[in-house]
Amino acid sequence: MLVIVAPGQGAQTPGFLKPWLEDPAFAARLHWLSTVAGLDLAHYGTEADAETIRDTQIAQPLLVATALVSALHLFPHPGDAFQRIGAVAGHSVGEIAAAAGARAITAEQAMVLVRERGKAMAQAAAVTPTGMTAVLGGDREEVLAAIAANGLTAANDNGPGQIVAAGTMEQLAAFADAPPAKARLRPLSVAGAFHTQHMAPAVSHLQQLAAAVTTHDARTRVISNRDGQVVHEGRDVLRRIVGQISSPVRWDLCMETMSDLGVTGILEMPPAGTLTGIAKRALKGVETFSFNGPDQIDDARAFIDKHGEPAGLDLTPTWRVVVSPAKGTFRIGAEVADAEVVAPGTSIGEVASTRDKVSVEALHGGQVVEWLVEDGDLVSPGQPLLRLYPEGSL
């Protein structure tokens, strides 16, 4: 199974788009998305220095646009991608690119959202001096305890030996004065405490915008970095993108879900290297591919051919499916077991795993066509559970 991932802020480096812009088609598509974003992304990806592209308002649109345009080079006929991709995921702002790649939102909607996300997060970061520090190594529980004791947030949990603490500069200074045993601290060059309560004002702004966005159910599994769950319904994908601004990134749980799905290959969109590096440490035996330039297109397509398989979501437009968010045992809710109609937002049951129990909701509702699993069945992330027709269509 192939999973395609998109990196978050910090992956960008000066000049990383130069080889890409030699291709007229790439340049034209980037120009279109630059117009939507209101930024000269070609300039920032080729001529701007590291300090300039560190700016949240520039870095975020630059990363999302790069992922979207380079994806079209891998899949000139985008519909073909869904016969190859088992799941998509994005780290932090990369989740917007993943959502657009899965067709939950359009590329233009993605660029408007990321433009406003970057502005709102920069404004929120300017209120109080805040920052982020990577904690490398150390005992996991001791690291988390030390972060909490200093009033900080574990804003990124990237897997074994890599947690990012975030908070005020005073809190980070106190943390640095008494670090966890056997841990190395590395301050990050970011503008604020992303994925913490300090970003709450940005969430409010994005919520207002999201209310006007038309969504579609994802064409492949989307692994949410809020909790590693598979999300399928477009409104849920969008809601999580918005809320994730002030919520920790649980990339460790995303990788657990990839493992549950049986991933064999992970391809990271440009600028690549960060997420494949984490995967090499955490997902032993899984092949990785860092896609960074047009000279790699043939090799990238060969990697896709080797690992690609359909996600198993047969999305006929006249009906909807409710899918499992996680791996575990599915229990059908007693109140819907014999129901002919399910109201929007109804819980149809829960998936119980060794980690927790997750309620499964039919966000759209509709008339029950058929149950695709039985009570007590073991299910995998993204597996269809229930088929529904929109109410009144039969």
Catalytic residues: 92, 195
In whole angstroms, what is the distance from residue 194 CA to residue 54 CA? 14
In whole angstroms, what is the distance from residue 49 CA to residue 16 CA? 11
Q: Tell me if 283 sits within 8 A of 259, measured CB to CB.
A: yes
φ, ψ of residue 49 to 5 degrees: the values are -85, 175
Between the alpha carbon of residue 134 and those of residues 130, 164, 172, 382, the distances in Å are 14, 4, 11, 32
User: How many other C-beta atoms lie within 10 A of the C-beta of residue 345?
Assistant: 10
User: How many other C-beta atoms lie within 10 A of the C-beta of residue 91?
Assistant: 25
Helix axes 56-74, 94-101, angle to 10 degrees: 30
Which has the closest alpha carbon to 68: 100, 90, 41, 39? 100
In whole angstroms, what is the distance from residue 334 CA to residue 351 CA? 14
Burial category of 251 from C-beta neighbours within 10 Å (exposed 0-12, middle 13-18, buried 19 and up): buried
User: How many other C-beta atoms lie within 10 A of the C-beta of residue 193?
Assistant: 28
Secondary structure class of 211 (helix, strand, coil): coil
φ, ψ of residue 5 to 5 degrees: the values are -125, 150
Q: Secondary structure of 243-299 in the HEC alphabet?
A: HHHHCCECHHHHHHHHHHHCCCEEEECCCCCHHHHHHHHHCCCCEEEECCCHHHHHH
DSSP strand pairing (341-342 vs 328-332): unpaired
In whole angstroms, what is the distance from residue 5 CA to residue 256 CA? 14
Q: Tell me if 163 sits within 8 A of 155, measured CB to CB.
A: no
